[in-house]
Amino acid sequence: MNKDSTRANIIQGVALLLVLCLFLYLFSNAAHNLDRLGMMFGFDFLNSTAGFDISWSIIPYNPGMSYWRVFFVGITNTLVLSFVVIFFGTVIGTIVGILRLSHNPLVAQLARCYVEVVRNVPLLIQIIFWFTAVFSALPPPRRGYEFGGLFFLNNRGFYFPAPGTDISPIWFIGALCAFALGGWYLLRILRAVKITQAKMPLSILLGLGGWGVLLVACGGVASRFLSWSVPALDGFNLEGGQYIPAAFGAAFVAMTVYRSAAIAETVRAGMQSIDKGQHEAAATIGFSRYQTLRLVLIPQAVRAIIPPLANSWLVAVKDSSLAVAIGFPEVVSVFMQTSINQTGRAIEIISMVMGFYIVVSLIISYLLNRYNAHVQYKVR
């Protein structure tokens, strides 16, 4: 390690120490002022019973649990919504970004209209639109849509079969890991036999077929060893199984559409940053349009796409707080609103929520920065 890097590390360490000291001073000053005003400051309230219900939770919850559990319910719901939006928004945005550069004028203009319209409408308005005009407009449970007697869609949400309550969550984790491992192994096989370098429709059909076989196999194993709870109409509502609330669906669709439009522009800009000579060189050696994209353009464009993509992912996590407008129980709704109203501990609760967003943002930023460093050109 040279002197310059040592000096830089020392400066960063001193700066971090000063920032921590500043935060400690602010917290101690706030605690002193609150004590002087006769107000309590501390986190002991987190062990108290919450006493209120939450409309939807991925992890088990009941009103007899503590505020710690309320906090974990909120961050779990927030993370699930954020990560599915990030995944589908990135996939759709990448496709739309590539379509914007299509040689077909109709396809390119349709992709452009999609991006321009979606990006120029505020996300909050889109969330409210999808919730009030689409999901809330669905028929009630007694007249809802039924698919094979197993799946139901109505204005309360989407109902589907689920394993019985006596099943450990380890089953779900194991199934997801097995499915992901099978998909990864399938991609390795496809690459080994050069299928992915074939024509695009053939590659897509074979890939989807392989994933379909994996899904059927996992479903067969699950039906053999697990007991399933199937939703059924009971009075004016559906009982059994699990459901995804309409608020989650509206927030997911609105955020995915909005974020995909922003990512599409990032992908388009990254693709256009590649020198035109790369296109011509690929055409010279006989590459098809799909091969040029997959083997020449996209690997080089990734280096320009990752930095702004990281910002889009960070914004997607923070945008999830807008779902409070339609009653989705994410961390701002259940912790910064209901919990503050019941406990009056605004400083402590807001500090915890701020810390949660900071930690998630730093983790995403760190992972994408590591990947960005991995794909950059190595200069000696």
Residue 147: both structure tokens together: 């698919």
Q: Taking the model in full, what pTM does it have?
A: 0.80
Cα angle for residues 74, 77, 82 (degrees, 5° grid)? 120
**pLDDT at res. 198:** 46
**pLDDT at res. 83:** 93
Structural domain spans, the chain: 42-166+227-375, 167-226
**pLDDT at res. 194:** 52
**pLDDT at res. 95:** 92
What DSSP line would sit under 61-119, residue for residue?
--TTSBHHHHHHHHHHHHHHHHHHHHHHHHHHHHHHHHHTT-SSHHHHHHHHHHHHHHH
**pLDDT at res. 196:** 44
How far apart are alpha carbons 195 and 185 in whole angstroms? 14
How far apart are alpha carbons 241 and 162 in whole angstroms? 5
Residue 25: both structure tokens together: 């001073």
pLDDT in tens, the chain (380 residues): 566 678 888 888 899 899 899 988 887 887 788 777 777 777 888 888 888 898 888 888 888 999 999 999 999 999 999 999 999 999 999 999 999 988 889 999 999 999 999 999 999 999 999 999 999 999 888 888 888 878 888 888 888 887 765 555 555 556 666 666 666 666 666 555 554 444 444 555 555 566 666 666 666 655 555 667 778 777 777 777 788 899 999 999 999 999 999 999 999 998 888 888 887 788 888 887 777 877 888 888 888 888 899 999 999 999 999 999 999 999 999 988 888 888 888 888 888 999 999 999 999 999 988 888 887 766 55
**pLDDT at res. 259:** 95
Q: Tell me which DSSP letter residue 139 carries.
A: P
- Could you list the beta-strand ranges (E) of the chain: 145-147, 151-154, 157-160, 162-163, 228-229, 232-234, 237-239, 242-245
Collapsing DSSP to helix, strand or coil, 146 comes out as strand
Residue 44: both structure tokens together: 């002991």
> Residues 123, 319: contact at Cβ < 8 Å?
yes
Strands 151-154 and 145-147: antiparallel
CATH architecture assigned to 42-166+227-375? Orthogonal Bundle (1.10)
Q: Quickly count: other Cβ atoms within 10 Å of residue 163's Cβ.
A: 19
| 45: Cα within 13 Å, side-chain hemisphere | 19
C-alpha distances (whole Å) from 370 to each of 218, 356, 363 are 33, 21, 11
Residue 268: both structure tokens together: 């388009």
**pLDDT at res. 254:** 96
363 Cβ contact partners less than 8 Å away, ≥ 6 residues apart: none
Element housing 269 (H / E)? helix 246-272
C-alpha distances (whole Å) from 84 to each of 34, 81, 208, 322, 333 are 41, 6, 20, 16, 19
**pLDDT at res. 172:** 56
